[in-house]
Amino acid sequence: MPMDPSEIERLIEARFPDARIDVQDLAGDGDHYAVRVESQAFKGKSRVQQHQMIYDALGGRMGGVLHALALTTVTPPD
């Protein structure tokens, strides 16, 4: 069952209320997305830690409902 882009955004926003989120469906199939997340929560974290934070926010959907995710995380400029 495909995952709706608004659901991805809702899950991330619930964990990172300050986030600016852009979700793009790469293949039109609801399984392959590119997501860009900008949040102060990433400040001082490594890229790996930032991505783990997003995977945690998605609640285990990666590899199941959500097949592929091209993830970009950024900290807003001060």
pLDDT at 51: 95
Is 1 in contact with 37 (CB distance < 8 Å)? Answer: no
pLDDT at 19: 97
Instruction: Say which CATH number the domain at 16 has.
Output: 3.30.300.90
pLDDT at 29: 79
Domain count, the chain: 1
Domain that holds residue 25: 5-74
Q: Which residues of the chain are modeled with pLDDT < 70?
A: 1
Q: How many angstroms from the chain centroid is the CA of residue 76?
A: 16
pLDDT at 1: 64
Q: pTM of the entire structure? A: 0.89
pLDDT at 67: 77
pLDDT at 12: 96
Q: What is the distance between the alpha carbons of residues 42 and 33, in angstroms, rounded to a whole number?
A: 21
